[in-house]
Amino acid sequence: MLFPTLDFAVFFLVVFALAWALRRMASARKTLLLVASYFFYGYWDWRFCFLLLGASLIAWVAGIAISGATGERARRGIVAVSVGVLLLILGFFKYYGFFLESLGDLLRGAGIERDLPLMAVILPVGISFFTFQAISYVVDVYRREIPAARSPLDLLLYVSFFPQLVAGPIVRAADFMPQLAERPRLTRFMLSYGLVLVLVGLLKKMVVANWLATHLVDDVFLVPESHDMPTLLLAAYGYAVQIYCDFSGYSDIAIGTAALLGYHFRENFRQPYRAASLQEFWRRWHISLSQWLRDCLYKPLGGSKSGRIATYRNLFLTMFLGGLWHGAAYNFVIWGAMHGAALGLERAARERFSPRPGGPRDAAFKRIAWAPRPWHGHGLVRFLAILATFHFVTLAWIFFRAENFTTATAYLSGLASLSGSFEAWTPFHLLLVFVPLAFHFTPHDLDMRCGRALRRWPALALAFGFAACLVLIQLISPPGTAPFIYFQF
Protein backbone atom coordinates (compact mmCIF):
# COMPACT_ATOMS: atom_id res chain seq x y z
CA MET A 1 0.00 0.00 0.00
CA LEU A 2 1.43 3.35 -1.01
CA PHE A 3 0.91 6.48 1.07
CA PRO A 4 -0.42 8.79 -1.66
CA THR A 5 -3.31 6.54 -2.72
CA LEU A 6 -7.02 6.36 -2.03
CA ASP A 7 -6.49 2.87 -0.57
CA PHE A 8 -4.18 4.22 2.10
CA ALA A 9 -6.45 7.19 2.81
CA VAL A 10 -9.41 4.89 3.54
CA PHE A 11 -7.17 2.48 5.50
CA PHE A 12 -5.77 5.29 7.64
CA LEU A 13 -9.18 6.81 8.32
CA VAL A 14 -10.42 3.47 9.66
CA VAL A 15 -7.25 2.81 11.71
CA PHE A 16 -7.26 6.35 13.11
CA ALA A 17 -10.90 6.09 14.25
CA LEU A 18 -10.56 2.60 15.74
CA ALA A 19 -7.17 3.21 17.40
CA TRP A 20 -8.48 6.26 19.26
CA ALA A 21 -11.73 4.48 20.13
CA LEU A 22 -9.56 1.85 21.87
CA ARG A 23 -7.42 4.46 23.60
CA ARG A 24 -8.19 3.20 27.12
CA MET A 25 -7.61 -0.46 26.22
CA ALA A 26 -3.87 -0.68 25.73
CA SER A 27 -3.67 -4.32 24.60
CA ALA A 28 -6.62 -4.04 22.24
CA ARG A 29 -5.18 -0.87 20.73
CA LYS A 30 -1.78 -2.46 20.20
CA THR A 31 -3.41 -5.57 18.69
CA LEU A 32 -5.40 -3.39 16.32
CA LEU A 33 -2.28 -1.49 15.23
CA LEU A 34 -0.43 -4.79 14.78
CA VAL A 35 -3.19 -6.28 12.61
CA ALA A 36 -3.38 -3.04 10.63
CA SER A 37 0.41 -3.07 10.12
CA TYR A 38 0.38 -6.66 8.85
CA PHE A 39 -2.55 -5.84 6.59
CA PHE A 40 -0.62 -2.81 5.27
CA TYR A 41 2.44 -4.98 4.58
CA GLY A 42 0.48 -7.98 3.26
CA TYR A 43 -1.25 -5.71 0.75
CA TRP A 44 1.82 -6.19 -1.52
CA ASP A 45 2.31 -9.90 -0.96
CA TRP A 46 0.85 -11.64 2.12
CA ARG A 47 3.59 -14.32 2.04
CA PHE A 48 6.18 -11.79 3.19
CA CYS A 49 4.22 -11.29 6.42
CA PHE A 50 5.80 -14.55 7.60
CA LEU A 51 9.25 -13.10 7.01
CA LEU A 52 8.32 -10.03 9.03
CA LEU A 53 6.94 -12.24 11.78
CA GLY A 54 10.04 -14.45 11.71
CA ALA A 55 12.46 -11.53 12.03
CA SER A 56 10.42 -10.12 14.92
CA LEU A 57 10.30 -13.45 16.76
CA ILE A 58 14.07 -13.96 16.38
CA ALA A 59 14.61 -10.56 18.00
CA TRP A 60 12.08 -11.32 20.75
CA VAL A 61 13.67 -14.67 21.65
CA ALA A 62 17.14 -13.06 21.54
CA GLY A 63 15.96 -10.29 23.89
CA ILE A 64 14.65 -12.76 26.46
CA ALA A 65 17.80 -14.89 26.17
CA ILE A 66 20.05 -11.82 26.65
CA SER A 67 18.17 -10.67 29.72
CA GLY A 68 18.32 -14.22 31.16
CA ALA A 69 22.02 -14.76 30.44
CA THR A 70 24.43 -14.28 33.33
CA GLY A 71 27.89 -13.76 31.89
CA GLU A 72 28.97 -11.02 29.53
CA ARG A 73 30.38 -13.61 27.15
CA ALA A 74 27.04 -15.41 26.88
CA ARG A 75 25.22 -12.11 26.30
CA ARG A 76 27.64 -11.20 23.53
CA GLY A 77 27.29 -14.63 21.99
CA ILE A 78 23.50 -14.34 21.85
CA VAL A 79 23.77 -10.89 20.22
CA ALA A 80 26.25 -12.21 17.66
CA VAL A 81 24.12 -15.25 16.78
CA SER A 82 20.80 -13.38 16.55
CA VAL A 83 22.24 -10.44 14.59
CA GLY A 84 24.07 -12.93 12.36
CA VAL A 85 20.85 -14.86 11.61
CA LEU A 86 18.96 -11.61 10.86
CA LEU A 87 21.73 -10.40 8.55
CA LEU A 88 21.85 -13.81 6.87
CA ILE A 89 18.15 -13.58 6.02
CA LEU A 90 18.63 -10.03 4.75
CA GLY A 91 21.72 -11.04 2.77
CA PHE A 92 19.94 -14.00 1.18
CA PHE A 93 17.13 -11.88 -0.20
CA LYS A 94 19.34 -8.96 -1.21
CA TYR A 95 22.45 -10.63 -2.59
CA TYR A 96 21.50 -14.18 -3.65
CA GLY A 97 21.06 -13.32 -7.32
CA PHE A 98 24.17 -11.11 -7.44
CA PHE A 99 26.47 -13.73 -5.87
CA LEU A 100 25.13 -16.51 -8.04
CA GLU A 101 25.67 -14.46 -11.20
CA SER A 102 29.17 -13.44 -10.07
CA LEU A 103 29.99 -17.07 -9.22
CA GLY A 104 28.75 -18.20 -12.64
CA ASP A 105 30.93 -15.54 -14.33
CA LEU A 106 33.92 -16.59 -12.24
CA LEU A 107 33.48 -20.27 -13.09
CA ARG A 108 33.00 -19.51 -16.77
CA GLY A 109 36.17 -17.39 -16.66
CA ALA A 110 38.03 -20.39 -15.26
CA GLY A 111 36.60 -22.58 -18.04
CA ILE A 112 34.18 -24.46 -15.79
CA GLU A 113 30.56 -24.63 -16.92
CA ARG A 114 28.17 -25.51 -14.11
CA ASP A 115 24.37 -25.35 -13.79
CA LEU A 116 23.96 -23.26 -10.70
CA PRO A 117 20.76 -23.55 -8.63
CA LEU A 118 18.99 -20.54 -10.13
CA MET A 119 15.97 -19.38 -8.20
CA ALA A 120 13.92 -16.26 -8.67
CA VAL A 121 14.19 -14.47 -5.34
CA ILE A 122 11.88 -11.49 -5.01
CA LEU A 123 13.15 -8.76 -2.72
CA PRO A 124 10.51 -8.17 -0.04
CA VAL A 125 9.59 -4.49 0.29
CA GLY A 126 11.29 -2.78 3.21
CA ILE A 127 13.22 -5.88 4.36
CA SER A 128 16.28 -3.79 5.30
CA PHE A 129 14.28 -1.43 7.42
CA PHE A 130 12.49 -4.02 9.54
CA THR A 131 15.66 -6.11 9.85
CA PHE A 132 17.56 -3.05 11.11
CA GLN A 133 14.79 -2.35 13.60
CA ALA A 134 14.94 -5.93 14.86
CA ILE A 135 18.73 -5.61 15.24
CA SER A 136 18.28 -2.27 16.97
CA TYR A 137 16.04 -3.96 19.57
CA VAL A 138 18.58 -6.74 20.24
CA VAL A 139 21.41 -4.19 20.59
CA ASP A 140 19.35 -1.91 22.85
CA VAL A 141 18.48 -4.85 25.14
CA TYR A 142 22.13 -5.91 25.19
CA ARG A 143 23.20 -2.37 26.14
CA ARG A 144 20.50 -2.38 28.85
CA GLU A 145 18.85 0.69 27.36
CA ILE A 146 15.49 -1.08 27.49
CA PRO A 147 14.29 -4.20 29.27
CA ALA A 148 13.51 -7.25 27.13
CA ALA A 149 9.84 -7.39 26.12
CA ARG A 150 8.12 -10.25 27.98
CA SER A 151 5.09 -10.24 25.71
CA PRO A 152 5.79 -10.45 21.99
CA LEU A 153 3.00 -7.96 21.23
CA ASP A 154 5.07 -4.82 21.89
CA LEU A 155 8.00 -6.12 19.89
CA LEU A 156 5.88 -7.29 16.96
CA LEU A 157 4.27 -3.86 16.83
CA TYR A 158 7.60 -2.04 17.13
CA VAL A 159 9.09 -3.95 14.17
CA SER A 160 6.00 -3.80 11.97
CA PHE A 161 4.41 -0.43 12.85
CA PHE A 162 3.09 0.62 9.44
CA PRO A 163 4.11 4.32 9.21
CA GLN A 164 7.82 3.44 9.18
CA LEU A 165 7.68 -0.19 8.03
CA VAL A 166 8.80 -0.04 4.42
CA ALA A 167 11.12 2.97 4.12
CA GLY A 168 11.97 4.16 7.60
CA PRO A 169 12.82 6.21 9.53
CA ILE A 170 14.63 3.46 11.44
CA VAL A 171 13.12 4.02 14.86
CA ARG A 172 15.28 2.90 17.79
CA ALA A 173 13.63 0.45 20.16
CA ALA A 174 14.70 2.61 23.12
CA ASP A 175 12.77 5.53 21.59
CA PHE A 176 9.59 3.75 20.58
CA MET A 177 8.91 0.90 22.98
CA PRO A 178 8.59 3.05 26.12
CA GLN A 179 5.89 5.01 24.27
CA LEU A 180 3.83 1.83 24.01
CA ALA A 181 3.67 1.64 27.79
CA GLU A 182 2.08 5.09 28.09
CA ARG A 183 -1.52 6.00 27.45
CA PRO A 184 -1.55 7.70 24.03
CA ARG A 185 -2.57 11.33 23.78
CA LEU A 186 -3.46 13.48 20.82
CA THR A 187 -2.72 17.10 21.61
CA ARG A 188 -3.80 19.90 19.32
CA PHE A 189 -0.15 20.44 18.40
CA MET A 190 0.31 16.77 17.45
CA LEU A 191 -2.79 16.94 15.30
CA SER A 192 -1.80 20.12 13.44
CA TYR A 193 1.89 19.15 13.22
CA GLY A 194 0.96 15.68 11.90
CA LEU A 195 -1.33 17.21 9.28
CA VAL A 196 1.36 19.71 8.21
CA LEU A 197 3.92 16.91 7.84
CA VAL A 198 1.51 14.77 5.81
CA LEU A 199 0.86 17.70 3.44
CA VAL A 200 4.56 18.60 3.16
CA GLY A 201 5.45 14.96 2.47
CA LEU A 202 2.76 14.63 -0.19
CA LEU A 203 3.86 17.87 -1.84
CA LYS A 204 7.48 16.73 -1.92
CA LYS A 205 6.68 13.26 -3.26
CA MET A 206 3.66 13.72 -5.49
CA VAL A 207 4.54 17.07 -7.00
CA VAL A 208 8.30 17.70 -6.90
CA ALA A 209 9.73 14.17 -7.02
CA ASN A 210 7.17 12.75 -9.44
CA TRP A 211 7.36 15.68 -11.88
CA LEU A 212 11.15 15.62 -11.82
CA ALA A 213 11.21 11.86 -12.41
CA THR A 214 8.68 11.77 -15.23
CA HIS A 215 9.61 15.02 -16.94
CA LEU A 216 13.38 15.21 -16.67
CA VAL A 217 15.46 12.70 -14.73
CA ASP A 218 14.23 9.31 -16.02
CA ASP A 219 14.62 10.27 -19.69
CA VAL A 220 18.09 11.71 -19.26
CA PHE A 221 19.44 8.84 -17.15
CA LEU A 222 18.00 6.27 -19.58
CA VAL A 223 20.18 7.42 -22.48
CA PRO A 224 22.68 10.01 -21.25
CA GLU A 225 24.61 9.81 -24.56
CA SER A 226 21.77 11.53 -26.39
CA HIS A 227 21.76 14.58 -24.13
CA ASP A 228 24.09 17.57 -24.00
CA MET A 229 26.03 18.89 -21.05
CA PRO A 230 23.54 21.52 -19.76
CA THR A 231 20.70 18.97 -19.81
CA LEU A 232 22.88 16.38 -18.04
CA LEU A 233 23.84 18.97 -15.44
CA LEU A 234 20.21 19.96 -14.84
CA ALA A 235 19.16 16.30 -14.62
CA ALA A 236 21.94 15.63 -12.07
CA TYR A 237 20.68 18.54 -9.95
CA GLY A 238 17.16 17.27 -10.61
CA TYR A 239 17.99 13.81 -9.29
CA ALA A 240 19.59 15.29 -6.18
CA VAL A 241 16.33 17.13 -5.50
CA GLN A 242 14.15 14.19 -6.57
CA ILE A 243 15.75 11.66 -4.23
CA TYR A 244 15.65 14.16 -1.37
CA CYS A 245 11.97 14.99 -1.92
CA ASP A 246 11.05 11.35 -2.50
CA PHE A 247 12.78 9.99 0.56
CA SER A 248 12.26 12.85 2.98
CA GLY A 249 8.66 13.10 1.74
CA TYR A 250 8.12 9.49 2.82
CA SER A 251 9.73 10.22 6.19
CA ASP A 252 7.54 13.32 6.66
CA ILE A 253 4.37 11.33 5.99
CA ALA A 254 5.60 8.53 8.29
CA ILE A 255 6.38 10.95 11.14
CA GLY A 256 3.10 12.78 10.53
CA THR A 257 0.90 9.66 10.56
CA ALA A 258 2.70 8.39 13.67
CA ALA A 259 2.01 11.75 15.37
CA LEU A 260 -1.67 11.46 14.41
CA LEU A 261 -1.73 8.08 16.15
CA GLY A 262 -0.07 9.56 19.24
CA TYR A 263 3.55 8.46 18.74
CA HIS A 264 6.68 10.53 18.37
CA PHE A 265 9.37 9.74 15.80
CA ARG A 266 12.60 11.72 15.53
CA GLU A 267 13.27 13.76 12.40
CA ASN A 268 15.05 11.91 9.61
CA PHE A 269 16.19 14.77 7.35
CA ARG A 270 17.38 18.21 8.36
CA GLN A 271 17.94 20.28 5.22
CA PRO A 272 20.85 18.10 4.03
CA TYR A 273 21.92 20.25 1.08
CA ARG A 274 22.84 23.14 3.35
CA ALA A 275 25.66 21.03 4.80
CA ALA A 276 29.10 22.60 4.52
CA SER A 277 30.93 19.29 4.81
CA LEU A 278 30.26 15.62 4.17
CA GLN A 279 30.36 14.91 7.88
CA GLU A 280 27.61 17.51 8.33
CA PHE A 281 25.73 16.09 5.33
CA TRP A 282 25.54 12.67 6.97
CA ARG A 283 24.25 14.28 10.15
CA ARG A 284 21.41 15.79 8.13
CA TRP A 285 20.65 13.04 5.57
CA HIS A 286 18.72 9.91 6.59
CA ILE A 287 19.67 10.63 10.19
CA SER A 288 18.19 7.40 11.53
CA LEU A 289 20.33 5.23 9.20
CA SER A 290 23.45 7.34 9.86
CA GLN A 291 22.94 6.88 13.60
CA TRP A 292 22.23 3.19 13.15
CA LEU A 293 25.42 2.74 11.10
CA ARG A 294 27.38 4.75 13.68
CA ASP A 295 26.09 2.74 16.65
CA CYS A 296 25.90 -0.71 15.10
CA LEU A 297 28.85 -0.64 12.67
CA TYR A 298 31.27 2.29 13.08
CA LYS A 299 31.57 2.07 16.87
CA PRO A 300 31.84 -1.75 17.03
CA LEU A 301 34.60 -1.48 14.40
CA GLY A 302 36.48 0.74 16.84
CA GLY A 303 35.17 4.17 15.83
CA SER A 304 37.71 6.94 16.19
CA LYS A 305 39.33 5.52 19.33
CA SER A 306 41.78 3.12 17.74
CA GLY A 307 44.21 5.52 16.14
CA ARG A 308 44.23 7.66 13.04
CA ILE A 309 44.64 4.99 10.37
CA ALA A 310 42.04 2.74 12.00
CA THR A 311 39.61 5.68 12.10
CA TYR A 312 39.98 6.27 8.36
CA ARG A 313 39.57 2.54 7.74
CA ASN A 314 36.42 2.46 9.90
CA LEU A 315 34.96 5.49 8.16
CA PHE A 316 35.62 3.96 4.76
CA LEU A 317 34.28 0.55 5.74
CA THR A 318 31.11 2.03 7.24
CA MET A 319 30.30 4.01 4.10
CA PHE A 320 31.37 1.17 1.82
CA LEU A 321 29.05 -1.28 3.61
CA GLY A 322 26.37 1.43 3.68
CA GLY A 323 26.67 1.59 -0.10
CA LEU A 324 26.54 -2.19 -0.41
CA TRP A 325 23.43 -2.22 1.78
CA HIS A 326 21.60 -0.28 -0.96
CA GLY A 327 22.06 -3.19 -3.33
CA ALA A 328 24.42 -5.72 -4.81
CA ALA A 329 25.59 -3.56 -7.71
CA TYR A 330 28.89 -1.89 -8.47
CA ASN A 331 27.16 1.50 -8.68
CA PHE A 332 26.19 1.42 -5.03
CA VAL A 333 29.62 0.14 -4.05
CA ILE A 334 31.27 3.04 -5.92
CA TRP A 335 28.83 5.49 -4.38
CA GLY A 336 29.64 4.20 -0.87
CA ALA A 337 33.38 4.11 -1.57
CA MET A 338 33.30 7.71 -2.86
CA HIS A 339 31.62 8.91 0.30
CA GLY A 340 33.91 6.81 2.51
CA ALA A 341 37.08 8.05 0.83
CA ALA A 342 35.91 11.67 0.80
CA LEU A 343 34.93 11.51 4.48
CA GLY A 344 38.41 10.21 5.30
CA LEU A 345 40.09 12.95 3.26
CA GLU A 346 37.88 15.58 4.83
CA ARG A 347 38.75 14.36 8.31
CA ALA A 348 42.45 14.38 7.46
CA ALA A 349 42.18 17.93 6.09
CA ARG A 350 40.30 19.08 9.16
CA GLU A 351 42.93 17.61 11.48
CA ARG A 352 45.69 19.17 9.39
CA PHE A 353 44.30 22.66 8.81
CA SER A 354 41.96 23.40 11.71
CA PRO A 355 43.62 25.80 14.14
CA ARG A 356 44.15 24.42 17.62
CA PRO A 357 41.79 26.08 20.08
CA GLY A 358 43.66 28.86 21.84
CA GLY A 359 46.65 28.61 19.52
CA PRO A 360 48.15 31.55 17.62
CA ARG A 361 46.41 30.65 14.36
CA ASP A 362 43.10 30.36 16.16
CA ALA A 363 43.47 33.89 17.49
CA ALA A 364 44.34 35.15 14.01
CA PHE A 365 41.35 33.39 12.49
CA LYS A 366 39.04 34.89 15.05
CA ARG A 367 40.04 38.38 13.91
CA ILE A 368 38.99 37.75 10.31
CA ALA A 369 35.29 37.24 9.86
CA TRP A 370 35.51 35.16 6.68
CA ALA A 371 38.69 33.33 7.60
CA PRO A 372 38.83 29.64 6.70
CA ARG A 373 37.65 28.11 9.92
CA PRO A 374 36.92 24.93 8.05
CA TRP A 375 33.36 23.62 8.07
CA HIS A 376 32.14 25.74 10.95
CA GLY A 377 32.37 29.36 9.93
CA HIS A 378 29.91 31.68 8.29
CA GLY A 379 30.00 33.92 5.27
CA LEU A 380 31.72 33.36 1.97
CA VAL A 381 33.81 30.35 3.00
CA ARG A 382 30.82 28.48 4.36
CA PHE A 383 28.86 29.31 1.21
CA LEU A 384 31.67 27.90 -0.96
CA ALA A 385 31.90 24.82 1.28
CA ILE A 386 28.12 24.28 0.88
CA LEU A 387 28.47 24.53 -2.90
CA ALA A 388 31.40 22.10 -2.95
CA THR A 389 29.61 19.59 -0.69
CA PHE A 390 26.41 19.78 -2.74
CA HIS A 391 28.30 19.20 -5.99
CA PHE A 392 30.25 16.26 -4.58
CA VAL A 393 27.02 14.67 -3.30
CA THR A 394 25.34 15.29 -6.67
CA LEU A 395 28.29 13.71 -8.48
CA ALA A 396 28.03 10.62 -6.29
CA TRP A 397 24.26 10.47 -6.92
CA ILE A 398 25.03 9.92 -10.64
CA PHE A 399 26.53 6.53 -9.76
CA PHE A 400 23.65 5.84 -7.41
CA ARG A 401 21.00 6.55 -10.06
CA ALA A 402 22.61 5.18 -13.23
CA GLU A 403 21.47 1.72 -14.33
CA ASN A 404 25.03 0.43 -14.49
CA PHE A 405 28.63 1.53 -14.48
CA THR A 406 28.70 2.07 -18.28
CA THR A 407 25.76 4.46 -18.10
CA ALA A 408 27.39 6.35 -15.24
CA THR A 409 30.65 6.81 -17.18
CA ALA A 410 28.70 7.87 -20.28
CA TYR A 411 26.93 10.43 -18.11
CA LEU A 412 30.21 11.77 -16.74
CA SER A 413 31.85 12.01 -20.16
CA GLY A 414 28.75 13.89 -21.41
CA LEU A 415 29.11 16.31 -18.49
CA ALA A 416 32.76 16.88 -19.37
CA SER A 417 31.94 17.78 -22.97
CA LEU A 418 31.17 21.40 -22.00
CA SER A 419 28.93 22.11 -24.97
CA GLY A 420 25.24 22.20 -25.80
CA SER A 421 22.17 24.35 -25.36
CA PHE A 422 20.17 25.28 -22.31
CA GLU A 423 16.81 24.41 -23.84
CA ALA A 424 15.95 22.03 -21.01
CA TRP A 425 16.39 24.86 -18.48
CA THR A 426 12.73 25.83 -18.73
CA PRO A 427 10.96 27.84 -16.02
CA PHE A 428 9.13 24.66 -14.96
CA HIS A 429 12.32 22.66 -14.47
CA LEU A 430 14.05 25.53 -12.71
CA LEU A 431 11.08 25.87 -10.40
CA LEU A 432 11.18 22.16 -9.56
CA VAL A 433 14.92 22.10 -8.96
CA PHE A 434 15.70 25.38 -7.28
CA VAL A 435 12.63 26.08 -5.10
CA PRO A 436 13.20 22.92 -2.97
CA LEU A 437 16.89 23.85 -2.75
CA ALA A 438 15.96 27.37 -1.64
CA PHE A 439 13.80 25.87 1.13
CA HIS A 440 17.00 24.39 2.57
CA PHE A 441 17.87 27.88 3.75
CA THR A 442 14.65 28.57 5.65
CA PRO A 443 14.44 27.86 9.42
CA HIS A 444 14.94 24.11 9.91
CA ASP A 445 11.88 23.82 12.15
CA LEU A 446 9.50 25.55 9.75
CA ASP A 447 7.04 22.62 9.77
CA MET A 448 7.01 22.65 13.57
CA ARG A 449 6.37 26.41 13.58
CA CYS A 450 3.47 25.89 11.18
CA GLY A 451 2.12 23.17 13.46
CA ARG A 452 2.35 25.54 16.44
CA ALA A 453 0.60 28.32 14.53
CA LEU A 454 -2.19 26.03 13.33
CA ARG A 455 -2.98 24.53 16.72
CA ARG A 456 -5.04 27.62 17.56
CA TRP A 457 -7.14 27.28 14.44
CA PRO A 458 -10.71 26.04 14.94
CA ALA A 459 -11.45 22.57 13.58
CA LEU A 460 -13.50 23.99 10.70
CA ALA A 461 -10.64 26.20 9.48
CA LEU A 462 -8.15 23.35 9.89
CA ALA A 463 -10.40 21.01 7.89
CA PHE A 464 -10.92 23.59 5.14
CA GLY A 465 -7.20 24.39 4.95
CA PHE A 466 -6.13 20.74 4.89
CA ALA A 467 -8.75 19.78 2.30
CA ALA A 468 -7.84 22.74 0.06
CA CYS A 469 -4.11 21.92 0.20
CA LEU A 470 -4.72 18.21 -0.43
CA VAL A 471 -6.96 18.90 -3.44
CA LEU A 472 -4.40 21.37 -4.83
CA ILE A 473 -1.57 18.82 -4.43
CA GLN A 474 -3.70 16.22 -6.22
CA LEU A 475 -4.45 18.66 -9.03
CA ILE A 476 -0.89 19.82 -9.66
CA SER A 477 0.76 16.40 -9.42
CA PRO A 478 1.47 14.39 -12.58
CA PRO A 479 -0.90 11.51 -13.38
CA GLY A 480 -0.16 8.05 -11.97
CA THR A 481 1.34 6.83 -8.71
CA ALA A 482 5.09 6.22 -8.65
CA PRO A 483 6.53 4.05 -5.88
CA PHE A 484 9.01 5.58 -3.45
CA ILE A 485 12.68 5.16 -4.46
CA TYR A 486 13.67 3.63 -1.13
CA PHE A 487 11.06 0.85 -1.32
CA GLN A 488 13.60 -1.19 -3.30
CA PHE A 489 16.13 -1.09 -0.46
Show which residues are catalytic: 326
Alpha-carbon distance of 405 to 127, in angstroms, equals: 25
Q: Does 426 bind other proteins (CB under 8 A)?
A: yes
The residues, any chain, with a CB within 8 Å of residue 147's CB and separated by 6 or more, are 67, 141
Q: Does 228 bind other proteins (CB under 8 A)?
A: yes
Query: What letters, b where the CB count within 10 A reaches 16 and e where it falls short, cover 394-409?
Result: bbbbbbbbbeeeebbe
Segment near other proteins (CB under 8 A); pick from 37-45, 161-169, 365-373, 423-431: 423-431
CB of residue 450 to other proteins, shortest distance in Å:
15
Q: Does 450 bind other proteins (CB under 8 A)?
A: no
How many residues of this chain interact with other proteins, rule: CB under 8 A? 46
Q: Does 245 bind other proteins (CB under 8 A)?
A: no
The DSSP annotation for 151-203 comes to SHHHHHHHHH-GGGTTT-----HHHHHHHHHSPP---HHHHHHHHHHHHHHHI
Q: Does 471 bind other proteins (CB under 8 A)?
A: yes
Nearer to other proteins, 406 or 419 (CB): 419
**Among candidate residues 271, 200, 213, 241, the one with its CA nearest the CA of residue 3:** 200
CB of residue 256 to other proteins, shortest distance in Å:
12
CB of residue 455 to other proteins, shortest distance in Å:
10
The answer to whether residues 233 and 216 touch, using CB atoms and an 8 Å cutoff, is no
The residues, any chain, with a CB within 8 Å of residue 381's CB and separated by 6 or more, are 370, 371, 372, 373
Omega into 169 within 30° of 0, i.e. cis?
A: yes
Q: Which one among 90, 190, 197, 233 touches other proteins, defined by CB under 8 A? A: 190
Polymer length of the chain: 489
Nearer to other proteins, 110 or 460 (CB): 460
Alpha-carbon distance of 485 to 177, in angstroms, equals: 28
- Contact set for other proteins, span 350-379 (CB under 8 A): none
Q: Which one among 106, 391, 472, 488 touches other proteins, defined by CB under 8 A? A: 472
The answer to whether residues 177 and 59 touch, using CB atoms and an 8 Å cutoff, is no
Segment near other proteins (CB under 8 A); pick from 29-37, 118-126, 183-191, 406-414: 183-191
Segment near other proteins (CB under 8 A); pick from 17-25, 166-174, 336-344, 365-373: 17-25
The answer to whether residues 255 and 234 touch, using CB atoms and an 8 Å cutoff, is no
Q: Does 114 bind other proteins (CB under 8 A)?
A: no
Which residues contact other proteins by CB under 8 A?
Answer: 6, 9, 12-13, 16-17, 20, 23, 184-188, 190-191, 195, 211, 215, 228, 230, 260, 419-423, 425-428, 430, 459-460, 462-464, 466-468, 470-472, 474-476, 478
